[in-house]
């Protein structure tokens, strides 16, 4: 897998570029790639998101319909966004979302943070993502597979403005408590990793074949 490091990219511009990335992967003119970046503040939501989950009024932060799975979530400064453009035909069968969850958990473990993935009880709202053992959510995941190629990916909270999550229903879970590496490092008296260290740890695990 090839790593592509980007800076801050507006969400809608990133979606336009992602369309090109997936076409390139289907055509075989580009390898599997992990794009690491951030977005200016934006709330995105999927087609099945209830409108009541969205913020009624949040000045300065647009709300954008996303063409991915999952419910409403926030992207903004202080998050690491990872977009995975992978050809699943070459990787073989398997649960790509569980692979991503486990890779992020392992990467965070390398940085000293204990996290888990959670199974979703039948009939319940999806618990896909990365969580602390006491039930706070650290990373959200929403992916799409079309023509055997993945797009979209994950949002990992390093040090974002967590108060934004209080203005809407994140991930379809009205009782979810979001957290960040900054918050966890303070509570556990752990050294705060740099964004570069987080990027390296994440890529170090996601480059491995599922």
Q: Kindly state the average pLDDT of the residues 179-186.
A: 97
Residue ranges covered by each domain of the chain:
2-206
Q: Kindly state the average pLDDT of the residues 139-157.
A: 94
Q: Would you tell me how many other CB atoms lie within 10 Å of the CB of residue 63?
A: 14
How much is the pTM? 0.94
pLDDT at residue 161 above 70?
A: yes
102-146 pLDDT per residue, tens: 999 999 999 999 999 999 999 888 899 999 999 999 999 989 999
Q: CB–CB of 46/71 below 8 Å?
A: yes
According to CATH, what is the number of the domain 2-206?
3.30.930.10
Q: What does pLDDT average to over the chain?
A: 93
Give the active site residues.
Answer: 171
């Amino acid at each position: 897998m090839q790593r592509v490091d980007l800076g801050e990219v507006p969400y809608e511009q990133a979606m336009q570029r992602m369309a090109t990335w997936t076409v390139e992967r289907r055509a075989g003119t580009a390898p599997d790639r992990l794009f690491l970046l951030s977005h200016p503040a934006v709330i995105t939501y999927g087609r099945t998101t209830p409108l009541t989950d969205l913020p009624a009024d949040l000045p300065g932060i647009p709300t954008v319909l996303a063409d991915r799975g999952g419910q409403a979530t926030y992207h903004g400064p202080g998050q690491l966004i990872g977009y995975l453009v992978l050809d699943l035909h070459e990787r073989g069968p398997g649960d790509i979302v569980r692979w991503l969850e486990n890779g992020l958990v392992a990467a965070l473990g390398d940085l000293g943070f204990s996290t888990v993935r959670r199974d979703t009880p039948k009939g319940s709202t999806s618990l896909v993502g990365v969580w602390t053992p006491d039930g706070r959510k650290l990373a959200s995941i929403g992916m799409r597979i079309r023509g055997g190629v993945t797009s979209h990916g994950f949002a990992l909270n390093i040090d974002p403005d967590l108060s934004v999550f209080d203005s809407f229903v994140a991930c379809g879970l009205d009782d979810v408590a979001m957290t960040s590496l900054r918050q966890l490092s303070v509570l556990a008296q752990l050294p705060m990793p740099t964004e570069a260290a987080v990027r390296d740890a994440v890529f170090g695990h996601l480059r491995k074949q599922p």
